[in-house]
Amino acid sequence: MTSILESLAGSGPLLRNAVQNRNFKVLASMLGPAFRGLVQQRGRNEASTPLRLDYSAQFDWRYRRSEPEMARLYEAAKASQWNATADLDWSASVDPESAEHPLIPDAIIPLVHHPAFVRLTPREKGRQRRGLMAWMLSQFLHGEQGALFAAAQVTEAVPWLDAKLFGSTQVVDEGRHVETFHTYLTQKLEKLYEINDNLYVVIDALMTDGRWDLKFLGMQIMIEGLALGAFGFLRSHTSEPLLKQMLTFVITDEARHVHYGVLALQKFYATQVSEKERREREDWAFEVAYLLRNRFLAHEYYEEHWAHALSRAEWDRIVLQSEMMAIFRRTMFKRIVPNLKRIGLLSDRVRSRYDDIGLLEFEHCRAAPDLTAQDLLEDR
């Protein structure tokens, strides 16, 4: 019960912000997912979770090809398919606790300077690296399953044929990502963590909302954008060759997905929604950004490795003040905030909210349509 109350308290600002800003529609859309994720903890307690869906599919019997930039993305997607079974060398030996080829440098571990970590033996530090990487990749796996389902829904619901055609390639991409992350976690790290409660809330919220553009916003802009930054960070810091190769393939796919999301929503929000509806989506995006920011407090990893030595409040303080974890979070949100600005969801009305949680600094970075996959691989 204590951990449940702590989870609700930790997400209190989300609910308070919604009330203070009179975001009652946002509040209503989040209450059910928050209850299922934070109180019932369905992601932790259920092996399989059914969700009731309510949205409309849209057919185009004229087959109008009216979106040339989406058509170009579709061609790029067809030419860039890869086979996770054949194109990655799964026979390669991976020592997840290796000091010579560490999964991640010790500097990324939040407690790297804490006396409790300093006292660990080299073998114990290897277990810490393995655990933290397994936690990160597990959350990516869960996010990719959400992306697989969301891509399928949006492909049915989006009104433009070129978007549907590209969406069909994204469904294949996301299935491949689920396969890839699951294989690496189970065969190489031999460890899999349950979904983080905050990530569950976001996935539940966007899956059960009947509006296709909110599914797009939640998955293509928020979750996929965050993952794109995280993948780039891990790729640049890992010394494990198979993981580095795997992330290179995935980043190339994700670059197309986020580009697609920006194209679709930029047009839709400029021409198809009222100012009231745009404000609601702007508020919703901020609440999701707040949830995703808290997702990387790594409580599941803490509970396994450090709950015996530190209170959860002390752990949160250390993580939030950790220099490398701060860089990690900044790298992730660097790929979200410019896209929100490009699609018209970063007005003066909400800028101070992003500034308050340290995310406004990224508004002048390049948005997805202005970046190539190579730019992302080189973190430009």
5 falls in which pLDDT band (50, 70, 90)?
very low
For residue 48, is pLDDT > 70? yes
Q: pLDDT above 70 covers what percent of the chain?
A: 92
Average pLDDT of span 45-68: 88
- With residues binned 3-state (H G I as helix, E B as strand, rest as coil), the percentages for the chain, rounded to 5, are 70, 0, 30
- Alpha-carbon dihedral 191, 196, 199, 200, rounded to 10 degrees: 100
pLDDT band for 21, please (50, 70, 90 cuts): low
Mean per-residue pLDDT, 38-67:
85
Q: Hey, is 205 helix, strand or coil?
A: helix
Query: Residue 27: pLDDT band by 50, 70, 90 thresholds?
Result: low
pLDDT at position 206: 87
- Contact (CB, 8 A) for 192 and 134: yes
With 70 as the cut, is the pLDDT of residue 323 above it? Answer: yes
Least confident of 32-41, 205-214, 313-322: 32-41
- Give me the domains of the chain, ranges plus CATH numbers: 58-377 (1.10.620.20)
Residue 41 scores a pLDDT above 90: no
Per-chain mean pLDDT for the chain? 88
pLDDT at 9: 45
More confident residue, 89 or 20: 89
For residues 73-99, average pLDDT: 96
Check residue 23 and give its pLDDT: 60
User: What pLDDT sits at residue 2?
Assistant: 43
pLDDT band at 170 (very low <50, low <70, confident <90, very high): very high
Return the closest-CA partner of residue 142 out of 196, 74, 191. 196
Q: What tens digit of pLDDT does each residue of 244-254 get? A: 999 999 999 99
Q: 175-191: b or e for each residue (b if 16 or more CB lie within 10 Å)?
A: bbbbebbbbbbeebbeb
- Amino acid 17: pLDDT: 53
> If you average pLDDT over residues 235-243, what whole number do you get?
94
Nearest Cα to 10, choosing from 373, 293, 348, 202? Answer: 293
Write down the pLDDT at residue 89. Answer: 96
Split at pLDDT 50, 70, 90, the class of 358 is confident
Judge whether 187 and 267 are in contact, CB under 8 Å: no
